[in-house]
Structure 1
């Protein structure tokens, strides 16, 4: 749990992902199209990945990945991120981290 919370708070936008997960890929592409560069932690490539996945579930994720944190706060998984985006609420959260257009 400590590793997840530390990593989530070290950068503005953090995605915990698995390299073979299509939903993780979709979230990463969305952020790319919105011109933000999240820090991505591929938990399937981390020796502590299983523990990290369990910690993410304990923090409230429905599935361990993707888990998106913005400003150190858990936003959620694909459904929550896409819902925020469709409501127009995601871009204001990302604005401090977006590339200058």
Structure 2
């Protein structure tokens, strides 16, 4: 979890993603279209990606991606984001 926390604190918006995940693609596009340039970590392209994926699950992200950190304060998992958009 230390690596996830460290990476999440390096930029205002950080997205943990998988290059093959359509929801990851959608959330990245959402931020880009709003003029936000997030740091994006593709877990399936990172040698420590599986370790980071398990850390995200331990933080409560299920599914683990896409996970969005805003100001490093809290992980926002896709399921939680969809619920907030629907409200």
The answer, yes or no, to whether TM exceeds 0.5 is yes
Q: Unpaired segments of 5 or more residues in structure 1?
A: 88-101
TM-score scaled by length of structure 2: 0.89
Q: 2:40 aligns to what SS in structure 1?
A: strand
User: Which stretch has the larger CA shift, 77-86 or 17-26?
Assistant: 77-86
Deviation for aligned residue 1:65: 0.6
SS at match of 1:76: strand
Q: 1:85, CA displacement in angstroms?
A: 4.6
Q: Distance in 1 between matches of 2:44 and 2:72?
A: 21
Number of aligned residue pairs: give it. Answer: 87
Secondary structure of the structure 1 residue equivalent to 2:74: strand
Superposed CA RMSD in Å reads 1.5
Compute the TM-score of the two structures, normalised by the length of structure 1: 0.78
State whether structure 2 residue 61 is matched by structure 1 residue 64. no
Describe how 1:1-101 pairs up with structure 2 within 5 A: 1-85=1-85
